[in-house]
Every structure is written in C-alpha cells, then in structure tokens.
Amino acid sequence: MGLNYSTKIPSHLCALLLVVCPQIPRVLQKYMTVSVTVCVLFCVFPTYVYGCAGIQGVVEAYQTCLPKLQLYGPTNIAPIIQKVASSASQEMHTKEAMQYFILLILTDGVITDMADTREAIVQASHLPMSIIIVGVGSADFSDMQMLDGDDGILRSPKGEPCLRDIVQFVPFRNFKHGSPAELAKTVLAEVPNQVVDYYNNKGIKPKVPSEFESSRTFAP
C-alpha cells in the first residue's frame, strides 16, 4: 500500500517527527557488536544531512533506510521516548516554546520494558510531545492498548498518573485493506486535542504560523 500523507498532516503541528523502524528500537548489526544497545539513533541519509522536507520527505527517508537495516530485539521503547522527551524538555524552556514533538513508533513486537515505558510516558506527559504507536502484524498488543489510556489514566509503576493523555495506539491490521486516508485519520485523531491541551495547561496562546514555520524540516 502506498504511503502519501503529505496532504493529510498539517506541517505546523509538529517540529519533529521521529520515525523508528520496527521493531523498536532494534539493532543495526552492521554497526553493532553482539552486545545489544537498546537505543540506536541513526542517520537515514547517505549524505548525513539532518532533517528532511515535509512529511513526504520523512516517508522517503524511511523507505530508503529500511532495506539497509537488519532488525533485531528486544522491543525496548522507553529509551527512545526518553530521547525525544529530552528534546521536548529543552524546547519547553526556550523563549518561544512553540515547537511540539510527535514520536511515531512502528513495532511488530510486544514491549519488553513495560515498567520503564510507563514511567517514561508519565514524565513525557508534562512536555510538548505526543506518542503514536502503530502495531504491525499479529502480535499481542494488549500492552500497547493499556498505554493508550483510553480505558483509564495511565500510571507509572510508582502510581504517578499521566498529566494528560499523550499516547495513541493503532493496530495496523485493522486498516490493512482500508484506504491510507482512513489510517492517517485514525493515527492523527487525538493529536489536535493533545496539542491544544498542552498549550492550554501552560497558558500559551497560539501564534499564526509564519512562512518559515510552515516550511520547517522534519528530523528522522
């Protein structure tokens, strides 16, 4: 199924769209030893240029990168959430504080660091970021659904609740034979309210996107 969501996602909603190849985060054995590192950030561009233009640029970078990877386990999600949360935290303390971060996770496996992931999400709920998890394949994604928080407030292992709901889980198998537009609509369904909730909680009024802001690059 072709992926072309460039007209479905307003580019001003997020300054960073981080695409992580399934399974999350797997190891690039070409560069790694047998000692597994669970959080590997890598450049998807042969020229090592950081960033790509628009959503279509992100999709093209992902499609270029994926055939060059050898996937591996485990499925530890917390480290990549913490990595994006670090960038979001830095943005929160800038003068403008108008960048909102979206982490898109594509995974075909069961989470192996559930406790750490819950803790990372609770901490990230205070930051300008949202997390979208797309489950690919027929694995048991019940843990992913729990992270979504639609059936109750997600809490850390210590009992701390999320400040706000920032996670959307979507099982790809439900849209395998559907249209890309339907999938895109569901994936992005909760993002607008999450963005508004964050800025309302912070008392930050929206600004009219400038020509510069609407043409920002996206960092994979």
Q: How far apart are CA 220 and CA 94, in angstroms?
A: 22
Give one DSSP letter per residue of 104-169, joined into a string: EEEESS--S-HHHHHHHHHHHTTSSEEEEEEE-SSS--HHHHHHH-TTS--B-TT-PBPSS--EEE
With 0.75 as the threshold, say if the pTM is over it.
no
pLDDT by residue for the chain (220 residues), tens only, comes to: 333 333 333 333 332 333 333 332 333 333 333 334 444 454 544 444 455 667 777 777 777 777 777 666 778 889 889 989 998 999 888 877 788 999 988 888 788 899 999 999 999 999 999 999 998 888 888 888 888 876 778 999 999 999 999 999 999 988 888 888 888 889 999 999 999 999 998 888 877 666 445 545 455 5
Distance of CA 88 to CAs 8, 105, 145, Å? Answer: 24, 17, 24
Quote the DSSP letter at residue 101. Answer: E
Distance of CA 96 to CAs 9, 37, 151, 206, Å? Answer: 23, 35, 35, 11
Cis check: omega of the bond before 79, within 30 degrees of 0: no
Q: Select the CATH number that applies to the domain covering 13-202 from these four: 1.50.10, 3.30.1310, 3.40.50, 3.30.70.
A: 3.40.50
Tokens of 87: 């960038």
- In terms of Cα–Cα distance, which of 94, 164, 92, 87 is closest to 122? 164
Tokens of 170: 């979507």
Q: How far apart are CA 160 and CA 135, in angstroms?
A: 26
Number of H helices, E strands in the chain: 7, 6
HEC-encoded secondary structure of 84-96: HHHHHHHHHCCCC
Q: How far apart are CA 150 and CA 64, in angstroms?
A: 34
